[in-house]
Amino acid sequence: MSSTAVAVNNGVNVEALLGAREALTAAPEAAKFVWRAHSTWQDGTHTETSVKKFFGLGGEQSHRQEFVYDTDHPEIFASEDKGSTPVEMVLVGLAGCLSAGIAAVAQNRGIQLHSVTATLEAPMDIQGILGIDADVRNGFDAITVDYRIDADASEEDIRALVAQSQKRSAVFDIITNPTDVHVRVNA
């Protein structure tokens, strides 16, 4: 499939990814990563969270720069709306993860992408977080992701791309499957 006459370029270095897969199969300890974020409450519902350092390949690693994210609530919640809501950040993470996966799988399968856009929707009944109805959960009722993909491939192959991306997606797994969460308070 990757032996197409015209070189496909989705900007993903698949050779490097496949090389890493091979190397990490032989050295599974190096595959153990730790992701980190550091947050500081600002005021009201506004919190600033930054990411820079992480652990992987057996040592401390760093992004090229620090990335800073503001989370807040919109004005209809009587907040100052200095950033997206934390639940929207979850959608940001899911969209980023699935789309990166689509690009990587497409590259590996020799499929040239022209555009990949997604609209995410997550209905949520805020009676849960407001404690109005104990039968309503706090989180999303569900999440819908609608992709529009223009690529040199059949509809069937595009569907297979999106399916494979979900199968290998970290954020899809984090959202769909239970995760043990420890929240600790340090004096």
* Binding positions for another protein, rule: CB under 8 A: 28, 128, 134-138, 142, 156, 159-160, 163-164, 166-167, 172-173, 175-178
Minimum distance from residue 74 beta carbon to another protein (Å): 25
Minimum distance from residue 180 beta carbon to another protein (Å): 9
Is 34 or 163 the residue whose CB approaches another protein more closely? Answer: 163
Which of the 8 DSSP states describes residue 178?
-
At how many degrees (to 10) do helices 86-108 and 155-167 cross?
120
Question: What tokens appear for 181 in the block?
Answer: 């969460």
Residue 33: C-alpha distances to residues 54, 80, 87, 167 (Å)? 7, 36, 24, 19
Question: What tokens appear for 77 in the block?
Answer: 């919640």
Minimum distance from residue 100 beta carbon to another protein (Å): 17
Is 29 or 43 the residue whose CB approaches another protein more closely? Answer: 29
Is 51 or 174 the residue whose CB approaches another protein more closely? Answer: 174
Amino acid present at 120? L
